[in-house]
Amino acid sequence: MDIGTFRGIITGILIIAFIGLTLWAYSKRRRKDFDEAAQLPFADEDDAAANRDTSASRETDSRHDRGDRNT
């Protein structure tokens, strides 16, 4: 077996692996998982916004309890 045959075999294996990976990534069974993963960057923003709203309302309530009029 010479180097040309070896390179041809490796190229064929890589092409088959690429096609297999592409079919796996675009299969309908994986769509739900990938859609959930696509939304992960936004999950922290939703949690942070909810925490900001809660802390802002607590701060307003504490000012109201003390009688502070300045906001």
Tens digits of residue pLDDT in 6-23: 999 999 999 999 999 999
Cα separation, 16 vs 23, whole angstroms: 11
Contact 63, 71 (CB under 8 A): yes
pTM summary value:
0.50
Residue ranges of domains in the chain: 30-62
Cα separation, 48 vs 67, whole angstroms: 29
Mean pLDDT by 10 residues, the chain (71 residues): 95 98 91 90 74 62 59 53
Helix ranges, the chain (H):
3-25, 31-66
For residue 70, the model assigns a pLDDT of 59
